[in-house]
Structure 1
Amino acid sequence: MSLKKKLGLGVASAALGLSLIGGGTFAYFSDTEVTNNTFAAGTLDLSVNPTTIVDVSNLKPGDVVVREFNLVNGGSLDISKIDLKTVTSVDDANNDNTDNFAKHIKVLFLENGDKTGWNFIEGWDYNDVISETTLYDLQAMTPDAVENLNSFWTKWLGIEGEESGLGAGDSDQMYVAFEFVDNNQDQNQFQGDTLNLEWTFTAHQTEGELK
C-alpha cells in the first residue's frame, strides 16, 4: 500500500473516531440558582421573680404567710402549661419529731391573678391553681400553674381572664398563702424546726404547627 493511501486511511479513521465521540453530545442552555435555608429553633425561657418566694422565721401555729411572685416567659416560644412539682424536707432541731412538719403547713391558695375572671352574678371568680391542701399532700400533685380553671358559665357570663398557657414575652402574677395550722394540740415537737420547700416550675411547649 502506498504512503498516500496509508495517510488517507489514517485521516479517515481519525475523523470517524471524532464523529463517534462527538455523536453523543449536544448543546443546551442552562441556568442555576442556589437557595440558602435555615432552621432556627425557638427558645423556652421560664423564670420566677423573685426566685425565693418565702423566707420567714419565728413561725408559730396560727400564723399565715401571704406572698406574690411572677412567672415570666422570656423565650421566643409560647408555653402551653407549667407543671408545679413540690418537694419538702425538714431539719429536726431536737430530733424529736413523731410527725411530719409538712403536714402542718397548709397552702390556703395559689392563685393565678392573670387568669382570674369576673362573674356578673357572683363577682370575682378566683383562679386557684392550688386550694386548701397541705405541703405534704401537695407533693403527690402536679398542678398546671397557668391553666385557666374558670367554668363554662363564668366564661359565658363575663370576662374569663387570659387563656391557659403563657405567651412569649408575657408574665402571670401569682398569689400564694401558707398557714401553720393550729390543731389545738401539742405541737411542741416542731419548735426550732425548719421546713425546706422546693417548688420546681417546668414549662412545656405548645403543639407543633404547620409553618
Structure 2
Amino acid sequence: MSIKRNLALSFATAALGLIFISGGTVAYFNDIESAKNTFTTGLLELGINKESIIQVADIVPGDTMHGNFVLTNDGTVNIKEIILQSSYEVIDKGMSNQDDDLGDYIEVKYLYNVKNRERVVVEKTLSELKDNPQQIMKEFPVGSNEAKFAVQFQFIDNGENQNHFQEDELILSWNFEATQRDGDPDLQ
C-alpha cells in the first residue's frame, strides 16, 4: 500500500473513533408523555309512541276524526326542530274520481302541541300539506318530557254530490324529521 493510502486510512479510522467516543460521552435528560384523545359522536333519535296515528273506516262528508301521538327525544343530542313531511296516496276503488283529489277534501283542522299549547298546523288540507314541510316543534332537549300532540281531521262536505269518492281509500304518511342542534364553536 502506498503511504498516501495508509495515511488516509489512518485519518479515516481516527475520525470514526472520535465520532464513536464523542457520541458515547454526550448525555442529556429525556422524557416522553403521551395522551390519547377520544371523539364520540352523539345519537339523534326521535321516538314516536305508535305506528298509526289514526285509522278510520266508513267516513262520509262532514265527519270529524281525532287522533293523538307522543314524540320523545331518545337520543343523546338536543333536537333543534321537528319537521312534519306529509304525503298520501288515493286508491280509487269506486267510480272514477276524474282528477278530483280526495286529499283536497280531508282537512287537518288542527295539529296541536299540548306541551307548548300551540296549534302548529291549522286548517290545511292534505293536498296543501303534501310536499310542503311544516315545522311542528322547536328545541327538544335531551331528557325533556315527552311531547304530546292532538290532531283533528275533517272530511269536508262541499254541499255538492261527492259520490265519486265512495269506497275510495286515502293512505296518509306522516314522517317526522328531527334535526340536530347547531354545532358549538367552543365545545369543551
Task: Give the distance between the partners of 1:13 and 1:137, measured in 2 at CA.
Answer: 93
Calculate the TM-score normalised by the size of structure 2. 0.86
Partner residue in 2 for 1:18: 17
Q: Partner of 1:197: helix, strand, or coil?
A: strand
Task: Give the distance between the partners of 1:109 and 1:193, measured in 2 at CA.
Answer: 24
The CA deviation at 1:23 is: 2.9
Partner residue in 1 for 2:55: 55
CA shift digits 1:76-132 (9 cap, x unpaired)? 00000111111111111124112100100010001111112xxxxxxxxxx111001
Matched, 1:43 2:47: no
- Give ranges in structure 1 of 5+ residues lacking alignment: 1-5, 117-126, 147-163
Task: Give the distance between the partners of 1:181 and 1:144, measured in 2 at CA.
Answer: 24
The question of whether the paired residues in 2 share the 8 Å contact of 1:96 and 1:189 is answered with yes
The question of whether the paired residues in 2 share the 8 Å contact of 1:86 and 1:139 is answered with yes
Moved more, 133-142 or 187-196: 133-142
- Cα 1:94–1:13 change in 2 (3 A) is closer
Q: Partner of 2:30: helix, strand, or coil?
A: coil
Percent identity of equivalent pairs: 33
Task: Give the distance between the partners of 1:189 and 1:168, measured in 2 at CA.
Answer: 48
Give the number of equivalent residue pairs: 176
The CA deviation at 1:36 is: 1.6
Partner residue in 1 for 2:115: 114
The question of whether the paired residues in 2 share the 8 Å contact of 1:72 and 1:169 is answered with no
Task: Give the distance between the partners of 2:12 and 2:174, measured in 1 at CA.
Answer: 91
The CA deviation at 1:193 is: 0.6
The CA deviation at 1:182 is: 1.1
Partner residue in 2 for 1:124: none
The CA deviation at 1:167 is: 1.1
Calculate the TM-score normalised by the size of structure 1. 0.77
The CA deviation at 1:145 is: 1.3
Opposite residue 18 of structure 2, the aligned amino acid is S
